[in-house]
Amino acid sequence: MPLRGARRIRRPDRAIPGPLRILADPQFAGYLASNSTGSQPAAGPILLLQGDADPVIPVSVTSQVAASLCSAGVTVDYRTYPKLGHDTIPGRVIGIDDGAMPDILSWIADRLAGQPASSTCDS
């Protein structure tokens, strides 16, 4: 039973539907911020790949990640691929994992051979 004369305070997280309420929690928001890509320098070079037909993660988001990593002093080789989606759906779309596999294998082989990674941070 509410107290007489008490005002009901609307919590901002009640305006957010269902499972998304966690995003309004300050502790969770702090956790996300401290674990966001680019908040700390990486220990080695990063190959960052993005399909321009990805319906899950827009190119603009991946471009922001690349910029954050570059700002943190990370060596980033950022590549976008025309017509590649997020995941491969046989007969419908080729995902970044399959479409870029030759580049992925070549990049890893070069690192294992001791060749320095190229960076797209200045381009």
pLDDT digits (tens, 9 = 90+) for 5-32: 555 544 555 566 666 777 778 888 888 8
Same domain, 63 and 23: no
pLDDT at site 63: 95
Domain count, the chain: 2
Of 78, 89, 97, 94, residue with least CA distance to 37: 78
Same domain, 73 and 114: yes
Same domain, 72 and 111: yes
SS3 category, 49: strand
Same domain, 84 and 31: no
pLDDT at site 98: 92
Contact 117, 77 (CB under 8 A): yes
pLDDT at site 42: 86
Q: Which residues of the chain have pLDDT under 70?
A: 1-19, 38-39, 123
Assessment of whether the complete model's pTM goes beyond 0.85: no
pLDDT at site 31: 83
Q: Which domain holds residue 85?
A: 44-123
Q: Per the structure block, which two tokens stand in for 20?
A: 């998304």
pLDDT at site 35: 78
Same domain, 107 and 48: yes
Same domain, 64 and 33: no
Same domain, 63 and 122: yes
Residues in a beta bridge with 76: 46
Same domain, 25 and 65: no
Measured from the Cβ of residue 83, the count of other Cβ atoms closer than 10 Å reads 10
Q: Is 112 left (phi over 0), alpha (psi -120 to 50) or beta?
A: alpha
Same domain, 65 and 15: no
pLDDT at site 18: 67
Of 106, 88, 92, 102, residue with least CA distance to 51: 88
pLDDT at site 27: 87
pLDDT at site 29: 82
pLDDT at site 9: 45
pLDDT at site 76: 96
> Is 6 part of a structural domain of the chain?
no
